[in-house]
Structure 1
Amino acid sequence: MQTRKLGPFNVGVIGLGCMNLSHAYGPPVSVDQADRVIAAAIEAGVDHFDTATLYGFGANEELVGRLLKPHRRKITLASKCGMEGRPDAQGVIRKAIDARPSTLARQCEQSLRRLQTDAIDLYYLHRYDRSVPIEDSVGALGDLVRKGVVRSIGLSEVSAPILLRAHREFPISAVQTEYSLWTRNAEIAVLAAAREIGASFVAFSPLARAFLTGALTDVTTLHATDIRRAMPRFASDAYAENLKLLGPFKALARQAGCTPAQLALAWLLAQDDHILPIVGTTSVAHLRENLVAADLALPPDLLAAADALINEKTVTGARYNTQGETEVNTETFAPA
């Protein structure tokens, strides 16, 4: 696989986001299935794996740590802090954003144990905590680098001004934000800001949470606990409008001689050489399909056609609901 810079590391251009194995899209897959996916990724040359304290409320780090331990020296391991699961008054585990320095130090210690490693290669602040100055949170992450338990740090879902403030406190190696044909918020400012400071840009949900695969045609089949059920773009009426884009998109993929997912990933990789998508899947077949995109070189006019077909002006529905929007700090497009 071709490689790109991920902070101080060289990694394959497509990494594996491990969240899907434990979190957010319905019940976790079996350990055997998770093992098959990660083993297939290793076999295919994937060397960038991404997890977080939040995913499965620690379970994903435990899973990833156990499965990747034999390969630890060959991979770049990323995790995230600042969001975790906490019981509410009724004992229900809910996510909580907390980026106080003491919390980040505690979470790092717990993550190191779960990941079965003595240092995390890339440690992100999962969300900017508006109650804590970004300088305090990033300063605490810098302390972890100085202690040797973290090798580089990143930020997730932040705006350009917050990124630049953070970088003045301690060097930011990577920024992670949703980016795909149908989610273009990063193009407003943070993509350019990351390039300005020399940070890599890690794009999560590059396949638009399965929309760009062409396989999700009926949102009523989503599991009751699937996070897409709360996302406006996946509401029945909005999704019906978005599905109208899939026919022409599939036709472009046929013209390119690839699958819709491969076209979506090839478009993303063509946007800038500091962009690295991480794909999330529970299927070995889908993983292998996605990785083919790393070596696709598609005609510029075809990529431009995909760009014009699916973008912030043609997609129906917001990225997050009102609650979700309060949890991120990314720039948003003005209403049409």
Structure 2
Amino acid sequence: MSAITGTLARRSLGAHGLVSSALGLGLMGMSDLYGPADDAESIATVHAAIDAGVTLLDTGDFYGMGHNEMLLREALRGRDRDGVLISVKFGALRGPDGAWLGYDARPAAVKNFAAYSLRRLGTDHIDVYRPARLDPEVPIEDTIGAIAELVDAGHVRHIGLSEVSAETLRRAHAVHPISDLQIEYSLLSRGIEADILPTARELGIGVTAYGVLSRGLLSGHWDASRELTAGDFRGFSPRFQGENLAHNLALVEALRALAETKDATVAQIAIAWVAAQDATIVPLVGARRRDRLAEALGAARVELTPADLAAIEDAVPAGSAAGTRYAEAQMHHLDSER
């Protein structure tokens, strides 16, 4: 495997001093939800990302029930800790069998989760700390207040949120400056454009966009005959089922025709489109292997003209995806969808 080298451009994630590489690496799939992964290849992929200039590394304490954080600790062994930004989501509760048991964002729980993450990561601070979802039983002001105390103590540098509404963003930001909102955003998932993204811009909050390839649908590598392994949540995702999948793959083929005119891949066009929507958006790529990482990072070299963006809009219009982005039960946990 040849080395991936280079320096990515930097972007300001909002107006509160958080600066990231123009693309970030999401680590979830290295531990959970997409079927088996190889730890050695995962670590090599993190190394390749850092060598290529990626600074933002996104994890969650519930990804593999701590495995992902420990994997990241191993990947950063011997590396410059201050040369990267570690973003951690917390609050999702899991059972020993991996079952999802709800969310807990009480102030005491916030500090408890942070203590365990710091130990697993082998660091004295977390660069961006955020609840994975809004806890309906806890006022967002209480959760943010607890993270603010962690900021004051030096354990956390910046406060983030994930999958919240414009109203929740405002309430949280009134307690302590929010640096970054992590939320799904792609050609197939554009719900943030109406209210959430404008509110983030108004408040000076950056956006880290996950799901930019819509769990692989927009990778250009998916086909209807692909068999999913046990533990791959796409087996239950509405967009990967039956007629929905056929419809969505037709959109991908329309995008492929455009990508070929730019000497780019479908994945690169999809990532570049997200990055082109706002200068304070950082797309997260979920590569688990170095070859997929190399392809994703190639998106940084794709320049989309106004004519290109118009053609992409014609090929994959807003609202054209078939199926919701999560199953119905999970959609109920998304404050951003209310």
Q: Using structure 2 for the length normalisation, give the TM-score.
A: 0.93
Instruction: Within 5 Å, give how 1:301-320 maps onto structure 2.
Output: 301-320=307-326
Where in structure 2 are the equivalents of 1:1-336 lying within 5 Å?
Answer: 1-6=8-13, 7-27=16-36, 29-69=37-77, 70-87=79-96, 93-218=99-224, 220-331=226-337
Shift of 1:92: 5.8
Provide the alpha-carbon RMSD of the alignment: 1.4
Q: Is the 8 A contact 1:141 1:153 kept in 2?
A: yes
Gap change, CA 1:181 and 1:121, over 3 Å in 2: same
Quick check: 92-101 or 279-288, which moved more?
Answer: 92-101
Gaps of 5+ in 2: 1-7
Q: Aligned in 2, Cα 1:105/1:17: closer, same or farther, shift over 3 Å? A: same
Contact 1:188 1:331 in 2 (8 A): no
- Listed one character per residue, the Cα deviations across residues 276-302 of structure 1 (whole Å, up to 9, x for unaligned) are 011001120110111121132122111
User: Displacement of 1:219 after TM fit?
Assistant: 5.9
Structure-1 separation of matches of 2:105 and 2:42: 30
Is the alpha carbon distance of 1:224 and 1:92 closer, same or farther for their aligned partners in structure 2, counting shifts above 3 Å?
A: closer
Distance 1:92 1:155, change over 3 A: closer
Identity %: 40
Instruction: Report the Cα distance in structure 2 between the residues aligned to 1:95 and 1:310, rounded to whole angstroms.
Output: 36
Contact 1:189-1:331 within 8 A present in 2 as well: no
Counterpart amino acid of residue 184 in structure 2: E
Hey, what's the Cα distance between the residues in 2 that align with 1:175 and 1:322?
23
For residues 174 and 98 of structure 2, what CA distance do their matches in structure 1 show?
39
Aligned partners of 2:125 and 2:157 also within 8 Å = yes
SS in 2 for 1:56: coil
Q: What is the alpha-carbon distance in structure 2 between the residues aligned to residue 124 and residue 34 of structure 1?
A: 24
Q: How many angstroms apart in 2 are the aligned matches of 1:96 and 1:75?
A: 30
Return the letter of the residue paired with 1:2.
A
Runs of 4+ displaced beyond 4 Å: none
Contact 2:144 2:175 in 1 (8 A): yes
CA distance in 2, matches of 1:308, 1:277: 22
Question: SS of the residue aligned with 1:221?
Answer: coil
Q: What is the TM-score normalised by the length of structure 1?
A: 0.94
Contact 1:66 1:116 (8 Å CA) reproduced? no
Paired with 2:34 and 2:89, the residues of 1 have a C-alpha distance of 19
Equivalent residues, number: 328
